[in-house]
Structure 1
């Protein structure tokens, strides 16, 4: 694991909030030269600390709505590799968006995206469940997203709570 300096952490946090921030804007916000910010970002990209710049899409606003499922997977770890080999086998499928090793009632949480319910169901029954180490799966379909990656999808009203003062 890499230790980051204060400037690197500040740049990462600002880009995480909004990846469209330019080096010029970051330099203004942080009081550093634009060249220094460009070098920091380039170094973070080269070291794969910054892996990707992504767009959060509210699919419910367009006709091409995707179906997303969170699949709880119980597995038997492989001797010598633990969960790594099975996780790799699963995350290489193009339908799989994320895979997490979890504590609790199941071992892996797999996020899958498909064009419809049948696509996701077929993935679970034809690709995921037949893996030898998979003991069980539990598929949960996302019905509605309210917030993702810090972005609120709904038009929300102002916070009308009263301020409490000492």
Structure 2
């Protein structure tokens, strides 16, 4: 499992690394890296490979929101069943059962604030178990998926005026 953990660390930093580069970084031979990747995928540890996108830099930017959801469960319905229904919506980018003042944290993507609002009010809020939703629109993203988004200006000096 140690070899798989090393391979996983490299993939988490950059999923585009090829087998030879992962082998060089971990000190494993290429065949062992291929076996580790196949095993991680087969065991459901690695579910996919995605790009970290800064939607603010695209022409068709997307609106992101974090939605807090509270639910009330009954004897026949558990968190898994509610999560399964919420996760099926294409607008749901991430879904987490959390501790604290609410039960679920949901990351939602939409074309506009109205799209996100409509999705929550028409699809999520009417679910029988849902008792409350609170939507937080993401105004600016500084880091996502472990990747820091920089503005391209590496000059951190303060301006000085005479």
Query: Does 2:150 align with 1:154?
Result: yes
Which region of structure 1 is more displaced relative to structure 2, 72-81 or 23-32?
A: 72-81
SS in 2 for 1:132: coil
CA–CA separation in structure 1 for the residues paired with 2:45 and 2:51 = 18
The one-character-per-residue Cα deviations of 1:44-95 (angstroms, maximum 9, x if unpaired) are: 1111111101100111111110001100001012324421111111110111
Unaligned runs of 5+ in 1: 161-166
> Alpha-carbon deviation of 1:158?
7.3
Task: Name the counterpart of 1:97.
Answer: 93
CA–CA separation in structure 1 for the residues paired with 2:156 and 2:20: 33
Which stretch of the first structure deviates more once superposed, 83-92 or 148-157? 148-157
What TM-score comes out, normalization by structure 1 length? Answer: 0.89
What do residues 100-158 of structure 1 show as CA deviations (whole Å, max 9, x unaligned)? 10111100111111000111111111001100110010000001100001111123647
| C-alpha distance in 2 between matches for 1:77 and 1:8 | 38
1:88 aligns with 2:84: yes
Q: What aligned pairs does 1:58-137 form with structure 2 within 5 A after superposition?
A: 58-137=54-133
Aligned residues: 156
Change (3 A) 1:40 1:158: farther
**What residue in structure 1 maps to residue 25 of structure 2?**
29
In the alignment, what sits opposite 2:47?
51
Are the counterparts in 2 of residues 70 and 140 from structure 1 also a CA contact under 8 Å? yes
Aligned partners of 1:78 and 1:69: how far apart in 2?
28
Q: 1:18 aligns with which of 8, 14, 17?
A: 14
Looking at structure 2, the residues matched to 116 and 66 of structure 1 have their Cα atoms a distance apart, in angstroms, of 7
TM-score (norm 2): 0.91
